[in-house]
Chain A
Amino acid sequence: NAGVTQTPKFQVLKTGQSMTLQCAQDMNHEYMSWYRQDPGMGLRLIHYSVGAGITDQGEVPNGYNVSRSTTEDFPLRLLSAAPSQTSVYFCASSPRTNYEQYFGPGTRLTVT
C-alpha cells in the first residue's frame, strides 16, 4: 500500500491564481481531512469528509473548496490564492471515527 499520497510536493503561486492540491489513499478509509501547518501554530483543520459525497468545514475553511466523489480521492482547491495561504498542507485519512489518522507527506505552498 502506498498509504496517503499528496501532489505536488512543492508549489509556488502568484496571488489570485487557483490550483488543486491532490490527495489519494489506498486504504479504503472513509474519513479524510485537510490540515494546514504554519510555524508556531500546530495543525489546523480546513475541511474534512466522512465518506464519498459528504464534506464539512473545519476551523479555517475560507478560501478553500473540497469535494469527495470517490473514497480514494479528496482534492483541495484554492480558489484565488493569497499570501496568507502560504503554508504546508497535509492530507490525512482514518478508517473510522475516533481512530488514528494516517498523514501524507505534505505540500509546501508559497503564494507571492
Chain B
Amino acid sequence: SQQGEEDPQALSIQEGENATMNCSYKTSINNLQWYRQNSGRGLVHLILIRSNEREKHSGRLRVTLDTSKKSSSLLITASRAADTASYFCATDMNSGYSTLTFGKGTMLLVSP
C-alpha cells in the first residue's frame, strides 16, 4: 500500500519559476526522503529529512516536514529545464530496516 501520496500528479512551469510539490503520509515515520527520476533512469536521492527536523535546504531545494499534519513539501527554486523529471517522496516507517515506501510521484515539466 502507498504510504506517501504526492500532489500534484503533474506540474508544468516555465524556467526561472519555483516548483512546489507536496507529500502526505499516513503513519509515523523515522524520516522522509525525496528522490528524482529522469525518464528511463534510476532514482537519485535528493534530500532526507528526519522526523525531528522541520526544514532542510540543499542548493536550490528546500524541504519542509510537518509531522502533526503528516505532510512534507519540496520546493525547487529558479527551476531549469534540466529539473524536468518525476519526483517521489519515500518514507521509512520505523521498521528498523532500510525499506522505503514510495508515493506515485509528481511529474515536473520545466519549459525553456
Contacts and interface: CB of A to CB of B under 8 A. Distances in A.
B59 to A, nearest CB: 16
Contacts of A90: 42-43
Interface in A40-72: 40-45, 48, 50, 56, 58-59
B30 interface: yes
Interface string B93-107: 000111111111100
B52 interface: no
A97 B41 contact: no
Contacts of A40: 104
B43 A103 contact: yes
A96 B103 CA distance: 22
Nearest to B48: A100
Q: How large is the interface on A (under 10, 10 to 19, 20 to 34, 35 or more residues)?
A: 20 to 34
Interface residues of B, number: 25
B1 A105 contact: no
Given A59-B1, A90-B43, A96 B98 contact: yes
Nearest to A96: B98
B56 interface: no
Contacts of A48: 97-99
Interface string B37-51: 000111111001000
Q: Which 10 A-B pairs have the closest CB atoms?
A: A103-B42, A100-B45, A42-B104, A31-B98, A43-B102, A94-B98, A103-B43, A97-B98, A42-B102, A105-B42
Given A33-B99, A94-B98, A99-B48, 11 more contacts: A4-B42, A40-B104, A42-B2, A48-B99, A90-B43, A97-B96, A98-B30, A98-B31, A98-B92, A101-B98, A103-B43
Interface of A: 4, 31, 33, 35, 40-45, 48, 50, 56, 58-59, 90, 92, 94, 96-106
